[in-house]
């Protein structure tokens, strides 16, 4: 889409810090012209409507584009990178709003640098390839996300005066100390306490 915007000279869909009054490029038109010249100097031609033109095909991937712009002056490199980054950010935001964004793989046992509890509830082979014996397994997990620091402080304020020993403590596990909040709860199985 970046190449198409440069080629068609339509307004760039996100604001860029280097285009405007008293900036490196005073108007979009001058930025587009300079970008087109710079890209042509590294073998990327934008003046073709043919989708399979060799100059575009070769630089279609982001990695190839990034490698090629390294041959340009730093100010032009930065401008092209910022433009692509801005456009990428817009595309991600639009996909997120539409519910189409896939962030890829996610680490389940770490959140904001803190370890989470992960427990396997069940495991079931749902398919086995007859030729290779390879298995597709459905694994059901339970994640313990804990609670936020603010929620822990609020719970501490409201509940921790009831029983001696309630409060924040450090728990050592696998050589690391983690803060925990201990709060006494009702005893299980006490029929008289449930009223």
Residue pLDDT, tens place only, 100-120 = 888 887 777 776 666 677 889
Cβ contact 142:121 at 8 Å: yes
| pLDDT value of residue 46 | 74
Average pLDDT over residues 33-58: 69
- Proportion of the chain above pLDDT 70, given as a percent: 81
What pTM did the predictor assign? Answer: 0.52
Task: Between 4 and 130, name the one with better pLDDT.
Answer: 130
Confidence of residue 49 (pLDDT cuts 50, 70, 90): low
Is the pLDDT at 124 greater than 90, yes or no? yes
| pLDDT value of residue 106 | 73
Confidence of residue 53 (pLDDT cuts 50, 70, 90): very low
Q: Which of 8, 85, 76, 12 is nearest to 39 (CA)?
A: 76
Cα dihedral value 77, 81, 82, 84, nearest 10: 140
Average pLDDT over residues 10-24: 85
Is the pLDDT at 74 greater than 60, yes or no? yes
Confidence of residue 52 (pLDDT cuts 50, 70, 90): very low
Maximum Cα interatomic distance, the chain, rounded to a whole number of Å: 84
| pLDDT value of residue 162 | 60
CA distance 126 to 137: 6
């Amino acid at each position: 889409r970046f190449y198409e915007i440069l080629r068609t000279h339509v307004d760039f869909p996100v604001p860029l810090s280097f285009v405007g009054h008293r900036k490196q490029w005073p108007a979009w038109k001058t930025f587009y012209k300079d970008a087109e010249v710079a890209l042509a100097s590294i073998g990327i031609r934008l003046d073709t409507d043919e989708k399979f033109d060799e100059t575009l095909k070769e630089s279609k991937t982001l990695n190839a584009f990034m490698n090629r712009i390294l041959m340009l002056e730093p100010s032009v490199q930065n401008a092209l990178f910022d433009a692509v980054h801005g456009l990428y950010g817009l595309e991600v935001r639009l996909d997120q709003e539409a519910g189409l964004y896939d962030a890829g793989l996610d680490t389940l046992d770490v959140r904001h640098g803190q370890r989470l509890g992960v427990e396997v509830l069940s495991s079931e082979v749902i398919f086995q390839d007859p030729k290779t014996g390879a298995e597709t397994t459905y694994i059901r997990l339970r994640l313990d996300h804990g609670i936020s620091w603010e929620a822990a402080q609020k719970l501490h304020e409201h509940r921790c005066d009831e029983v001696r020993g309630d409060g924040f403590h450090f728990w050592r596990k696998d050589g690391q100390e983690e803060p925990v909040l201990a709060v006494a709860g009702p005893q299980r199985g006490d029929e008289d306490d449930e009223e």
